Amino acid sequence: MSGATHDDALDAFWMPFTANRQFKAAPRLLAKAEGMYYWTPEGRQILDGAAGLWCVNAGHANPHVVRAIQQQAAELDFAPPFQVGHPKAFELAKRLIELTPAGLDKVFYTNSGSESVETALKIALAYHRVRGEGSRTRLIGRERGYHGVNFGGVSVGGIVGNRKAFGPLLPGVDHLRHTHDPARNAFTRGQPQHGAELAEDLERLVTLHDASTIAAVIVEPMAGSTGVLLPPVGYLQRLREICSKHGILLIFDEVITGFGRLGEPFAAQRFGVTPDLITTAKGISNGAVPMGAVFARREIHDAFMQGPEAAIEFPHGYTYSAHPLACAAALGTLDAYAEQGLLTRGRTLEPVLEAALHGLRDLPHVQDIRNLGLVGAIELAPRPGEPGKRGYEVFTAAWAAGVLVRATGDTIAISPPLIVEPAQIEQIAETLAGILRKLA
What is the average pLDDT across 124-133?
98
Three-state SS at 276: coil
Count other C-beta atoms under 10 Å from residue 16's C-beta: 7
Say what the pLDDT of residue 347 is.
97
pLDDT at 419 over 70: yes
Q: Are 143 and 176 in contact (CB under 8 A)?
A: yes
pLDDT higher than threshold 60 for residue 1: no
Across the beta sheet with 366-372, the strand order is 366-372, 375-380, 411-414, 406-408
User: What span, in angstroms and rounded, lies between the C-alpha atoms of 292 and 109?
Assistant: 6
| CA dist., res. 268 & res. 314, Å (int) | 26
Element (H, E) at 183: helix 182-185
pLDDT value at 5 more than 70: no
* Residue range 205-234: mean pLDDT, rounded: 97
pTM score, whole prediction:
0.96
Note whether 393 and 400 are within 8 A (CB). no
Helix (H) or strand (E) segment spanning residue 215: strand 214-219
The pLDDT value given to residue 3:
43
- Tell me the mean pLDDT in the region 280-305: 98
State how far the Cα of 7 lies from the Cα of 418, in Å rounded to an integer. 36
Q: What local confidence, expressed as pLDDT, does residue 8 receive?
A: 80
Q: Work out the mean pLDDT of the chain and round it to a whole number.
A: 96
For residue 151, pLDDT over 90 is answered with yes
Residue 187 has pLDDT above 50, yes or no: yes
pLDDT surpassing 60 at residue 231: yes
* Residue 7 binned pLDDT confidence (cut-offs 50, 70, 90): confident
Q: Rounded CA gap, 122 and 108, in Å?
A: 12
Handedness of CA 98, 103, 106, 111 (dihedral sign): negative
* pLDDT tens figures, 358-401: 999 999 999 999 999 999 999 999 999 999 999 999 999 999 99
φ and ψ at residue 406, rounded to 5 degrees: -115, 130
pLDDT band of residue 6 (cuts 50, 70, 90) is low
pLDDT of residue 146: 98
Residue closest to 192 by CA, chosen among 374, 370, 359: 370
H or E element at residue 345? helix 342-358
What DSSP state is assigned to residue 319?
A: T
Q: What is the per-residue pLDDT for 385?
A: 94
The reported pLDDT for the residue numbered 4 is: 46
pLDDT-based confidence at residue 55 (cuts at 50, 70, 90): very high
Render 368-436 in DSSP notation, one character per residue.
Answer: EEEEETTEEEEEEPPBTTBTTHHHHHHHHHHHHTTEE-EEETTEEEE---TT--HHHHHHHHHHHHHHH
